[in-house]
A and B are shown apart, each in its own frame.
Chain A
Amino acid sequence: MSFAMNKQDEVVVVDVEGQLIVGNRQELKQKVLDELERGEKKFLIDFSRTGYIDSSGLGVLVSLSKKIREQGGELRLANLNDDLQTLFELTKLDTLFQISDTRERALESF
């Protein structure tokens, strides 16, 4: 499991490869917060290569969303598979995040 980060135009794109769970959530949080501190405002997390997310992973997404918004930025999500979509619906986090079917649509939405 790892997090690949790259920048497309003005958007920092994070690919979550593997799982987002209690064992690695702090790594994702720190990487995004480092970019936020450098002045980045637009963030997209792409889950096309993600297996599953546990409650602590969901919690980190909520926490990052709040921190980014406080700095006047935006966090959006893309490419949730059916399992992840169900997880977001069960927890109603689908109402909190702007979620796109594809990375391209998500990038266009900023």
Chain B
Amino acid sequence: MPSSEPQDERRPGLRLHVVTGKGGTGKTTVAGALALALASGGQRVLLCEVEGRQGIAQLFDVPPLPYEERSIAVASQGGEVYALAIDPESALLEYLAMYYRLGRAGKALDRFGVIDFATTIAPGVRDVLLTGKVYEAARRRTKAGDPVYDAIVLDAPPTGRIARFLNVNSEVAGLAKVGRIRRQADAIMTLMRSQRTAVHLVTLLEEMPVQETQDAIEELTAADLPVGSVIVNLQHRSPLDRAAQTKIAHGKLTPAAVVKGLAKVGVETTTATATGLLDEAKDHLARLELQEHQQKIVNGLGPPVIELPRLPDGIDLGGLYDLAHELQAQGLP
């Protein structure tokens, strides 16, 4: 199978974007928005998930995805996003059928519980199968010899597991020193470490996610895996300018002044309401201060930083397109 590899290297067309992040940072949302952004302008993009959560189906509001590539969204100039939910059991059966014509024996393996064993206990096999399917899609060609997809976006496991997940070589090293699994792992590593791959890390401006992002960058770098961008999600943009922030923080804006100012635009309030508004603003400033502290750490991490706003009404399909535009505007992809 590695025979077409050099050809891939000459073709800068295909890009593999791996999206990771701590749980709760919105990595699936970012992966979806990135797929839409990449598809706009007529590109064909495959969006994959590997954790059996059906997060893509929920995000795009489509029925649960099978182990089969399906068109789930369109973008400008005929661009299209396909989605695939990869599970290790199906990947293994497909793999056996493809390389060993093991139709019947594959079933036998399942009956003996081998599939379960191989995909859960056997070290690294699960990850080789999951990344192997991504690899297969990445090198698949049309009859004319062009790549089937222009880009692949992988909604990957969380930051705590990402380096180990992508670094399948070291995982299977203890297991298979020769044989097909080993060769497969080597081929996958060549793709993962190439210039065509970028691992993006989604974070919030909070202590834990930033810490995990920092740890993941160190681990990825140590494993020679290419780090792409850090994407700060759910960014809170303050409606107060610096001068206003200082004024409120120092108590220079009094409840009486607020009552008076609001009266000028026809809003009658009490001192209690004005005090409440100022308290809300002070909480807001306390949050901003924490965010700014984390922002400094994020800016110092090294990779380029991209910021995505918090959408006031949560995420729906329209919001996803907004985030896709935002990614494009800020230079990703």
Specify whether A and B are partners.
no
